[in-house]
Structure formats: C-alpha cells, structure tokens
Amino acid sequence: MKLQVLAIGHKMPRWVEEAASEYANRMPPHCSLQFTALPAGKRGKGADLARLTREEGERLIAATAKGAYVVALDLRGEVVSTEFLATRLEHWLAAGRDVAFWIGGPEGLSPDCLQRADWRWSLSPLTFAHPVVRVILAEQLYRAWSITAGLPYHRE
C-alpha cells in the first residue's frame, strides 16, 4: 500500500522537506509514504480565486492513483484521535488500496475535490500554514503506523 500526499504548492522550506522525509523514511516498505507537490495557480490582484481553486482541484484529481481511497484534508472535516487514525490505517492496509491525502491551496479544496473524497479529515480546528500541514500529516501517519506495529513511539 502507498500513502500518497498530494499537495498544492511548491518551494517548501528545507526544514519541511527534511521533516517530511524523516517520517517517510521511517515507514515500512509495505506502507510507503510519498509526497507530490503540484503547482498552485498564480494569485495576484484581481485573480479569479474560484477558477484557480477549481484548476488546482483538477490537478489533484488527475494526479491521484486510480482506485485510491481519497482523504481530503479540510477544516470542516472530521476531527479524530491518533488511535482512531491508527484503526483507519489498519483497515486501509487490510484492504490493500492506496490512499491519497489531498492538501489544497490557500483557499482550500475545490467543491469537486470535497465531493470526490471518501473521507474529509480535519487535523485540528486550528488553521495551519501549508508547510506545517505536511509535517503534521507525516508525523501523524508515522505515529498511527507505529501504534499498529506495536512500537513504543506513541505514548498516551
């Protein structure tokens, strides 16, 4: 199974790349974690934000592996515990389907993306900068996997 993080936006700071890579490298081969950055639309004075968000959504959908279970990271999504995420991860592993995690652009995900998603997940009621979301997501996926593997990384 592959966990694929598809995120709108390039040019992440080095610390983000290093942190995300650190957690990805900790994952086992049967549950690999991969990051794909997709270009954001050009924003500026007078930009059509609805069009840009729609186009970014089209890029996310096009880059998603066929048959993948899609998780939309959305502020209005379900807020869950790490233990709940670990249970979800176990189900995904048992099903053998790839899982795609979508991180939208500055205005979030397009309505088409939210409708297409199999699950809408909120990392927190707080709003995080896009680079921080990548690191939090990577860490939480590693933490969830460590719970399923019985590793001592997660302590209550």
Contacts of 61 (CB under 8 A, 6+ apart): 112, 113, 116
Are the C-beta atoms of residues 7 and 105 closer than 8 Å to each other? no
Any known ligand binding at 93? no
Any known ligand binding at 104? yes
Cα 109 to the center of its chain, rounded Å: 12
Any known ligand binding at 128? yes
Any known ligand binding at 52? no
Binding-site positions: 73, 104, 123-128
Binding-site positions for S-adenosyl-L-methionine: 73, 104, 123-128
